[in-house]
Amino acid sequence: MSDEFLIKVNVAGRLYPLNIKRNREEIIRRAAKTINEKVLQYQQKYKDKDIQDFLAMASLQFVVKVLESEAKTDVSPVLKELEAMEQELNEFIKEEQ
How many CB atoms within 10 Å of residue 43? 15
Please give the tally of structural domains in the chain.
1
What is the domain range of residue 9?
4-96
To the nearest 10 degrees (0 to 180), the angle between helices 25-45 and 51-72 is: 120
DSSP 1-66: --SEEEEEEEETTEEEEEEEEGGGHHHHHHHHHHHHHHHHHHHHH-TTS-HHHHHHHHHHHHHHHH
pLDDT digits (tens, 9 = 90+) for 40-76: 999 999 999 999 999 999 999 999 999 998 888 877 8
Question: What pTM was computed for the model?
Answer: 0.70
C-alpha 80/C-alpha 42 separation (Å) is 42
18 pLDDT higher than 90: yes
